[in-house]
């Protein structure tokens, strides 16, 4: 059972809901490092969880596998709480963080939020870091995000896969949402994970798991379906964006939610490429109806409720 997966000493997984990515705390006698920091609306909970796990010691380092808002939304709060905190990010994102370009960082295009933060180091693919008495290799993992990295501890065959591989699939292939081919990169990253041959995976979302071969097979099956039918992936991406915002708000009137969705650049772009037979408003209603049918939301008296 997943609940009984054994992790090395010093490795603590703070499993979060789908609005915030999982946080992984790596502690030894020399330092305490957190991998990924969750979404901004959960920052108080992130601070509380980290402080409780640290039991009075300081957080020394923060590493982000990639800079989607659900993985780095707590960065600013952690940097404020721990002024000496060293923050490591993938190198491809560095210029946009330095100038805080919310368009390039995806926050404006997705309609999501992330407070500005600074960084002090880069997670260069090919480098390694010593955290929790373990050597962690940094590997490039493009696809879901072109600049994403994954972290592998060969000694324990333990992989932090971020959103490159979950037990039930992988994250939306964001470059594809704007017409940039990236399905092949997803496949190459899945091949890399297979070559690394982990026995245990800490995913960006969901519980720690050991059924790696099954997860890879399922991911490849989903990838094949998306590659054969890009519109299917586009609709999936649109629904993920809508569901994410409903997770953030919890409940909101359908009129207010639709007004927000009409202004989201990614939603507009996807409609232009895949929904031109319907008005944008109708297309959004269709996506919401699909989410309702799948049980991801409920509509009562004109109010959308996350479900």
Q: What is the pLDDT of residues 183-231, one digit of tens each?
A: 999 999 999 999 999 999 999 999 999 999 999 999 999 999 999 999 9
Domain ranges of the chain: 2-228, 230-306
pLDDT tens-digit series, residues 1-23: 345 688 999 999 999 988 999 99
Q: What is the pLDDT of residue 17?
A: 87
* HSE (side-chain half, CA atoms, 13 Å) at 291: 27
Q: What is the pLDDT of residue 229?
A: 96
Helix axes of 280-293 and 265-274: crossing angle, nearest 10 degrees? 100
Helix, strand, coil shares, percent, the chain, to 5:
40, 20, 40
Q: What is the pLDDT of residue 228?
A: 97
CA gap 241, 264 in Å, rounded: 9
Please, what is the end-to-end C-alpha distance for the chain in angstroms?
26
- Per DSSP, helices labelled H in 113-229 are 174-177, 183-196, 212-228
CA gap 173, 186 in Å, rounded: 8
Residue 121 has φ and ψ, to the nearest 5°, of -160, 170
The 10 Å Cβ neighbour count of residue 253 is: 12
Q: Which of 102, 204, 208 lies closest to 148 in space, CA to CA?
A: 204
CA gap 104, 54 in Å, rounded: 34
Q: What is the pLDDT of residue 2?
A: 43
Q: What is the pTM of this model?
A: 0.95
How big is the CA angle at 126 (ends 116 and 24), to the nearest 5 degrees?
Answer: 50
The position carrying tokens 């017409």 is 179
In 118-263 the beta strands, taken as DSSP E runs, fall at 121-122, 128-131, 134-140, 149-153, 158-162, 200-203, 251-253
What DSSP element (H or E) covers 14?
A: strand 11-14
Q: What is the pLDDT of residue 130?
A: 97
Positive or negative torsion for Cα 180, 68, 122, 36: negative
Q: Which residues, 6+ apart, have CB-to-CB distance to 255 below 8 Å?
A: 302
CATH of domain 230-306: 1.10.10
pLDDT < 70 regions, the chain: 1-4
Q: Is the CATH number of domain 2-228 3.60.15.10?
A: yes
The position carrying tokens 């693919």 is 125
* CA R_g for the chain: 19
Q: What is the pLDDT of residue 63?
A: 98
Question: Which tokens sit at 206?
Answer: 């969901």
């Amino acid at each position: 059972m997943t609940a009984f997966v054994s992790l090395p000493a010093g490795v603590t997984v703070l499993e979060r809901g789908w609005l915030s990515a999982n946080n992984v705390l790596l502690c030894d006698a020399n330092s305490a490092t957190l991998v990924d920091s969750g979404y901004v609306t959960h920052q108080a909970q992130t601070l509380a969880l980290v402080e409780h796990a640290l039991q009075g010691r300081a957080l020394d380092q923060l590493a982000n596998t990639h800079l989607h808002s659900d993985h780095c939304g707590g960065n600013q709060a952690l940097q404020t709480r721990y002024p000496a905190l060293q923050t490591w990010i993938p190198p491809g994102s560095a210029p946009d963080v330095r100038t805080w370009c919310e368009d390039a960082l995806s926050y404006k295009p997705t309609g999501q939020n992330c407070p500005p933060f600074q960084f002090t180091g880069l997670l260069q693919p090919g480098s390694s870091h010593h955290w929790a008495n373990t050597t962690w290799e940094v590997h490039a993992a493009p696809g879901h995000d072109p600049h994403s990295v994954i972290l592998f501890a060969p000694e324990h065959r333990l992989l932090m896969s971020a959103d490159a591989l979950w037990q039930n699939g992988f994250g939306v292939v964001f470059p594809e949402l704007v017409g940039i081919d990236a399905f092949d990169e997803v496949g190459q990253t899945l091949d890399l994970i297979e070559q690394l041959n982990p026995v245990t995976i800490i995913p960006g979302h969901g519980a720690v798991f050991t059924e790696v071969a099954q997860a890879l097979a399922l991911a490849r099956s989903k990838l094949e379906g998306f590659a054969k039918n890009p519109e299917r992936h586009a609709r999936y991406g649109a629904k993920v964006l809508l569901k994410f915002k409903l997770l953030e708000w919890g409940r909101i009137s359908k009129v207010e939610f639709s007004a927000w969705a009409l202004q989201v650049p990614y939603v507009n772009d996807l409609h232009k490429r895949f929904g031109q037979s319907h008005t944008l408003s109708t297309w959004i209603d269709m996506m919401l109806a699909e989410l309702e049918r799948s049980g991801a939301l409920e509509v009562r008296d004109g109010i959308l409720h996350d479900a």
